Amino acid sequence: MPFWAYMLHCRGGAFYTGHTEDLEYRLAQHQVGALRGFTSQRLPVELVWSEEFPTRDEALEAERRLKGWSRAKKMALIRGDWERISRLAKKKDGPSTSSGQTDILDGSVLSTGRLDKALAEASGLSRERVKGLVADGAVELDGKPATSGSAKVEPGARFTIALPPPEPLAAEAQDIPLDIVFEDDDLLVVNKPAGMVVHPAAGNPDGTLVNALLHHCAGRLSGINGVARPGIVHRIDKDTSGLLVVAKSDAAHEGLAKQFADHSISRRYLAVCAGHPNPAEGSIRGRIGRSDKDRKKMAVLPDDATRGKHAVTHYQTKQRLDHAALIECRLETGRTHQVRVHCASIGHPLLGDPVYGRTPKPLRATLQQLQFARQALHAASLGFIHPISGESLDFCAELPRDMRELIDETAR
């Protein structure tokens, strides 16, 4: 379930930041004064920024960072002025991107059990976050440093958690080479290499496509998707190569987002899967959502599931290979890991996929020899209507060298 960080502009020029799992419902509560406190006394309120995050912890971190921003940075965020945000963040005598202070959480353990589980329950943090804080020496139990998340605790034990000051939220411009396929005043199409993350996130604060775009576009990118993801309309996985369209203006972003929402965008992927699909072409339909067994993975859910999202992938075998096949996948929908999950669900996972598949035994030596260690997936074709000019645009990107070598070796 996604979570949202958001910012409101209130009567009198004040700002309010918060986080929620249901942005539409929470906004409605703010607008009618149903939430007692700050915003109910400053109606009317207007949503001026929001951003979606995969976990509550990340949304909470974003909320805390924004609370420490100066009014100048918040106004720059609303305008989508990334160059000014970066400039303000770098000024030694300028506004800070965060309060710079350590937050202290304290309280009492509520139940018997493992320390990490008990603290997650009592503090609202995730167990993984608690484990990391324990490892960093940021947790005390009854006045003594906690050393293991698996230690047993009893109800009533007093805890103190020192949350370090958050890192700056705004991505910084970096001079990273880009393969630009098309560009005008409103958008650009880029051929992303495998290994490049699309936007900054936990564990990948820089070196991303967004960092490169901020430098290439001199900060002129759509601000609709938030300060950490300027210009980003859609994403492909870190280890998937190929085409993405990026919005430079808000009008272009809105127009492109509408086409993605109504599934009128044309997207075709080339992939090398294990085995030979039978039939050689067909359609895979199935709801995709978080796996019940592993929350870090996606899975095809039962047809009667109340969660997950409808997903359709049309595939066609382009070339039979040794214990593998080159297939083209046309996406009717765009769900997280859709091609990878759908292909695995019919028994033909992508070669090299470390999450959803196992390489056929006869091909393990080949992949090792080629040092091929990523899912064999490339976003080869992208077509859409230009949201400003109305022109029909179609782009293609050739297979990258590592996938060509894989196909050549398995075609012998």
Q: Are residues 346 and 406 part of one domain? A: yes
Does 168 score more than 60 pLDDT? no
Under DSSP, is residue 263 helix (H, G, I), strand (E, B) or coil?
coil
What's the rounded mean pLDDT across residues 88-102?
46
Instruction: Specify the range with the lowest mean pLDDT, choosing from 60-64, 77-81, 209-213, 271-275.
Output: 77-81
Residues 352 and 368: their CA atoms lie apart, in Å, by 10
For residue 150, give both structure tokens.
Answer: 């698996």
pLDDT (tens digit per residue) in 329-365: 999 998 889 999 999 999 999 999 999 988 899 999 9
Q: Are residues 302 and 376 part of one domain? A: yes
Question: What CATH number does the domain containing 59 carry?
Answer: 3.40.1440.10
Residues 369-406 as b/e (b if ≥16 CB within 10 A, e otherwise) read: eeebebbbbbbbbbbbbbbeeeeeeebebebeebbebb
Q: Are residues 133 and 30 part of one domain? A: no
Q: Are residues 273 and 405 part of one domain? A: yes
pLDDT (tens digit per residue) in 370-379: 999 999 999 9
The reported pLDDT for the residue numbered 225 is: 62
How many domains would you assign to the chain? 3
The reported pLDDT for the residue numbered 136 is: 80
Under DSSP, is residue 342 helix (H, G, I), strand (E, B) or coil?
helix
- Domain boundary at 43, 67, 91, which? 67
pLDDT (tens digit per residue) in 110-129: 888 999 888 877 776 667 77
Question: What CATH number does the domain containing 159 carry?
Answer: 3.10.290.10
pLDDT (tens digit per residue) in 201-243: 766 778 999 999 999 998 788 876 666 678 889 999 999 999 9
Position 87 in a domain: no
Short-list 302, 291, 386, CA closest to 340: 291
33, 39 Cβ separation under 8 angstroms: yes
Position 19 in a domain: yes
129, 161 Cβ separation under 8 angstroms: no
Q: Are residues 365 and 285 part of one domain? A: yes
Q: Are residues 394 and 344 part of one domain? A: yes
Q: Are residues 155 and 46 part of one domain? A: no
**Domain range holding 151?**
103-163
Q: Are residues 107 and 29 part of one domain? A: no
pLDDT (tens digit per residue) in 76-87: 776 666 666 666
Position 181 in a domain: no
Residues 346 and 300: their CA atoms lie apart, in Å, by 10
- Domain boundary at 113, 147, 163, which? 163
The reported pLDDT for the residue numbered 97 is: 37
What's the rounded mean pLDDT across residues 167-196?
89
Position 168 in a domain: no
Position 249 in a domain: no
Q: Are residues 107 and 152 part of one domain? A: yes
pLDDT (tens digit per residue) in 288-314: 988 878 767 889 998 888 788 889 999
The reported pLDDT for the residue numbered 84 is: 65
Position 191 in a domain: no
Position 89 in a domain: no
Question: What CATH number does the domain containing 398 carry?
Answer: 3.30.2350.10
Q: Are residues 339 and 270 part of one domain? A: yes
Catalytic positions are 237
Q: Output DSSP code: residue 294.
A: -
Instruction: Specify the range with the lowest mean pLDDT, choosing from 121-135, 194-208, 255-269, 303-317.
Output: 121-135
Q: Are residues 154 and 56 part of one domain? A: no
Position 192 in a domain: no
Instruction: Specify the range with the lowest mean pLDDT, choosing from 157-171, 179-193, 207-221.
Output: 157-171
The reported pLDDT for the residue numbered 42 is: 78
- Domain boundary at 147, 163, 179, which? 163
The reported pLDDT for the residue numbered 98 is: 39
Beta-carbon contacts of residue 79 (< 8 Å; ≥ 6 apart): 223
Chain-centroid distance, C-alpha 401: 26
**DSSP string for residues in 61-84:** HHHHHHHTS-HHHHHHHHHT-HHH
The whole-model pTM stands at 0.65
